[in-house]
Structures are given as structure tokens and as C-alpha cells.
Copies of this chain bind each other. A is one copy, B any other.
Amino acid sequence: MALLTDENNGTSQVDGAYLDYAAATPMAPEVVQAMLPYFTQRFYNPSAPYALAREARTDLEGARARLAHLIGARPDCVTLTAGATEANNLAFAATTGHVVTDAIEHESVLACAEARPHTIVPVSTDGRVDPAVVAKALTPRTQLVSIELANGEIGTIQPIRQIAAVVRSERERRLEASEDTPIYLHVDASQAAGWLSVDVTSLGADLLTLSAAKVYGPKQVGLLWSAEGIPLRPLVLGGGQENGVRSGTENVAGVVGFSVALELAQRERRAEAARVSALRDRLQASLLQRFPWARVSGPQRQKLRLPNLLHVSFPCVEARRLVILLERQGVSVGTGSACAASRMQVSHVLDAIGLPREVSRGSLRMTLGRQTTRRQVDFAADAIERAVTSELQRTGVDEVQLLERYGSSRGAARLGGRA
């Protein structure tokens, strides 16, 4: 498959479509260019004492400052990590007490929560966390609330500002009651950073996770922002880099690449969101026209779902078989989070929104990105149509029965979502 960039001229030959940008993004050319000098020329250890090393330190700190600026934060509150999973773990390590999180968080958040006292709040059928439910889940011992900004599987954008208000209100109550248990709001914004503002002040977060790999930057590069005064505890001990919180020789190339990537992503996010959401809607309409009994998950309201994401389930069809049929036509789509996909588990996200197993098993998660063109989307829609039709024929499932049983998503979508 070739990723085509000559979109919109109408003449490009489509020979496939990559529709899994939530799992991995190619590095932007600007990012690669920014990183290259640090591989062979400016390769110095930023902790060494001579001028060339101090220049590497300056470049590292300059990149940190750019990252901080992009999230409206102070550079000294940004801890650079080897990716979002580590950043999430680091956020959790800042406290040891009770945690409140929701049922559709990333595996790394759920795994950290399950390792200590925790309450997992449910989500609505479109994946939304209710701030009032978070408020009820808080106990006097709750030290951390961890809610992602947007879900990577069904695209739900969470009401973080309202959840932040809940946490702030509990903090004020404790202050007035002279209780000294701290409480922080951690927001994993990894999947959101290409599409939404990640300004920490306007979000009201106390801890924020970002990933370079989701915004056309390098893999295994991420950051944890923490508000002033939050005492981070290291997961690895050593030379004392990152204020003692994250030891190990700094990945200057990766951090410089991350800063360029996030800058591009945040600068272009509105225009790109408009462009890809139109393509996503076209893909959704095309699939629902052909298969009205298919089920689209996540909020149907534009502002409540990631603009590049389409999660569609074909009941009584095996998504794993669809993936194979589609890859033969050059169309790459996932069945959910890549982490879970590799273990071929049923998605905890789809279970949490109450999708019956015979529906969730037929789920494709499609995420569009910078190289996605209209032609690719149409090509993918045709390929999916062929694949689903072929599977229905193979298994002898009757579409009329599917329609009777699962109704029409098209009507539901027009009515503002089934959820």
C-alpha cells in the first residue's frame, strides 16, 4: 500500500487505505528533519559538562519549553517519558490512595487503578462519563481521579472541565474541613491531542499525559505534565535526570521531534478536524446506507466524538475475518485498541457501553489521518462492503433478519444517536 498525498486533485490512483491512525501515525516529514541532526551530529549527552553537551541541553530544554507552551504550562512542570503508558504510570505513582476512574480508559490506566484501592465508574451507552457519578464515587480517601480527554476506541470526548470542577470542589471541601488528603485530576490526552485543545488550565487538570506517537511524532516519547507542588515519585532510579523523576540519558532527538509534532498537530487541528470529519461522515454514511443494521458506537453529535474516528459493528460477523479480507484489498483497519487487539480479547470498552458480544465481535475501528483522501475512504467503503457481504454469504446470515433485530442506524444517526 502506498500512502497517497496528492489528495483532492482527483487523479490519484488508490491502491489501498490505512485507517488506523489511532494505533500509529507516520512521522511527519518536518519531525524527521528536526530529529536527524541529533542522530549523528548533535548527539551529545545533555548531562555532560562541555559546550557541545550544553548545546544539547539547550536544545532539549528548548523543546521542553515549546511543549510546555503548547499546553499552556511551565517547562519545569513537564516530565519527559518514554511514551504515554509510562506517563500514565508516573501520574498514578504520585499518590498511593483510592482512585476513581472509568470503565473505558486505556489499559495502562485501568491496570494502574486495579493495583490499588479503586472505584471504576460506568459510562453511558455512548461512552460518556457523568461528572455527577464521579462526584458520588469520591471518598474522603480518594487521591486521584483519572479520566481520558477522548477515548481511542469509540471516540467519546469526556466532559473534563465539569469533572475538574467536581475534583476542585472536593479539594475545597477538604481545605475547609482541614483534611490534608490531596486529590488530583489526571487526564490522559494521548488520543485527543491532534484534535482538541490540550491547554491544562482550561481543562482544569492537575496531571496530563501526552504521546508523541499519536501526533505524527516518534514512538516511545511522551510527557507527563504535573501542576506545581505535586510530588512525583520515580518509577526508575538512577542518574537523576528529569529532576530525579525519570532517570536515563535524555532522548534529545525524540523530544525535539515531539515538540515539532505537537506544534504541527495543534496548529492544524481545526482545519484537519474539519477535513477528516467530512471524510469520516462520508464513510459512515456510505456504510450505513449499504448496511443500515450496522451499529455505530460513540456519540453521534459532532462535538462529542473525535472527528477522525468511526467505530462500526456488524452484528453476527467476525471482525477478525473482515480484517483479513480487507488487508487483501490493501485496506488496514483495526478492531479496537491495538494493545487489546494483539491479545484477541473482547474489548473492555465495548463491554462497558453495553454492546452485546455478538455485536462487539463484528467491530471495526477506523481512524483517519493526514494522508487519508476521499478516494481512499470510498475505496475502503467499497472494500468493507465486499468483505461484509462475502461474510454474510459465507455464514448464511440474512440481512432482513439483521435489520429486524438491530434496527436501522441510519435513522438513529439522523435522530442524533441511538445512545
Q: How far is the CA of A9 from the CA of B3 in the complex (A)?
A: 46
Q: What is the 8 Å Cβ interface bit string for chain A, positions 68-104, against chain B (1 contact, 0 not)? A: 0000000000000011111011000000000000000
Which residues of B are found within 8 Å of A82, using beta-carbon distances? 82-83, 86, 220, 248, 251
Q: Are A335 and B85 in contact (CB under 8 A)?
A: no
Cross-interface CB contact of A88 among B84, B238, B241, B338, cutoff 8 Å: B238
Contact status A48-B23, CB under 8 Å: yes
The verdict on A218 contacting B39 (CB below 8 Å), with A24-B249, A52-B332, A249-B24 known, is yes
Number of copies: 2
A239 proximity list for chain B (CB < 8 A): 85, 106-108, 337-340, 342
Q: How far is the CA of A323 from the CA of B88 in the complex (A)?
A: 39
Is A393 an interface residue when CB atoms closer than 8 A count as contact? Answer: no
| Inter-chain contact A107/B238, CB cutoff 8 Å | yes
Asked whether A112 is an interface residue with its Cβ less than 8 Å from the other chain, the reply is yes
CA distance A307 to B307 in the complex (A): 57
Interface string of A12-26 (1 = CB under 8 A from B): 000000101001111
Residue on B nearest A332 in the bound complex, by CB: B50
Please tell me if A247 contacts chain B, counting CB pairs below 8 Å: yes
Q: Determine whether the beta carbon of A338 is less than 8 Å from that of B20.
A: no
Is A138 interfacial (CB-CB < 8 Å)?
no
- Whether A235 sits at the interface, judged by CB under 8 Å, is yes
Decide if A301 is an interface residue (CB 8 Å cutoff). Answer: no
Q: Which of B27, B253, B343 lies in contact with A219, CB distance below 8 A? A: B253
Could you tell me if B238 and A111 are in contact, using CB atoms closer than 8 angstroms?
Answer: yes
A77: min CB distance to chain B, Å = 20
* Nearest Cβ on chain B to A392's Cβ, whole angstroms: 21
What are the residues of chain B within 8 A of A333 when measuring CB–CB? 50
By the criterion of a CB under 8 Å from any partner CB, how many residues of chain A are at the interface?
74
Q: A328-365 toward B: CB 8 Å interface, digit per residue (1/0)?
A: 00001111011111110000000000000000000000
Q: Which residue of B lies closest to A251 (CB)?
A: B220
Taking a contact as CB atoms under 8 Å apart, the answer to whether A342 and B24 are in contact is no
Assess the A44–B24 pair: CB atoms within 8 A: yes
A36-59 contacts to B (CB < 8 Å): 36, 39-41, 43-53
A111 and B250 CA atoms in complex are apart in Å by: 18
Q: Does A140 contact B (CB under 8 A)?
A: no
| Complex partner residue of A235 from B32, B220, B236, CB under 8 angstroms | B236
Q: How far is the CA of A118 from the CA of B106 in the complex (A)?
A: 37
Residues on B with beta carbons closer than 8 Å to the beta carbon of A106: 238-239
Q: Are B29 and A252 in contact (CB-based, < 8 A)? A: no
Return chain B residues, CB-CB under 8 Å to A340: 239
A411 sits at the interface (CB 8 A): no
- Asked, given contacts A86-B248, A108-B237, whether A26 binds B39 with beta carbons under 8 Å apart, the answer is yes
Interface centre among A3, A24, A220 (most CB of B within 10 A): A220
Determine if A236 and B89 form an interchain contact, defined as CB atoms under 8 angstroms apart.
Answer: yes
A320 located at the interface, meaning its Cβ lies under 8 Å from any Cβ of chain B in the complex: yes
**8 cross-chain pairs, A with B, having the tightest CB-CB distances, nearest first:** A239-B339, A108-B238, A82-B82, A111-B237, A47-B342, A85-B248, A24-B45, A220-B251
26 inter-chain pairs at a CB distance below 8 angstroms, sorted by A residue, are A1-B52, A18-B52, A20-B48, A26-B40, A26-B43, A29-B40, A47-B342, A51-B327, A52-B327, A53-B338, A82-B82, A82-B86, A82-B248, A85-B238, A85-B239, A85-B247, A86-B248, A89-B237, A107-B239, A107-B240, A115-B237, A218-B253, A219-B252, A220-B220, A235-B236, A249-B338
Q: Please report A residues at the B interface, Cβ cutoff 8 Å.
A: 1, 3, 18, 20, 23-27, 29, 31-32, 36, 39-41, 43-53, 82-86, 88-89, 106-108, 111-112, 115, 213, 218-220, 235-241, 247-254, 320, 323, 326-327, 332-335, 337-343
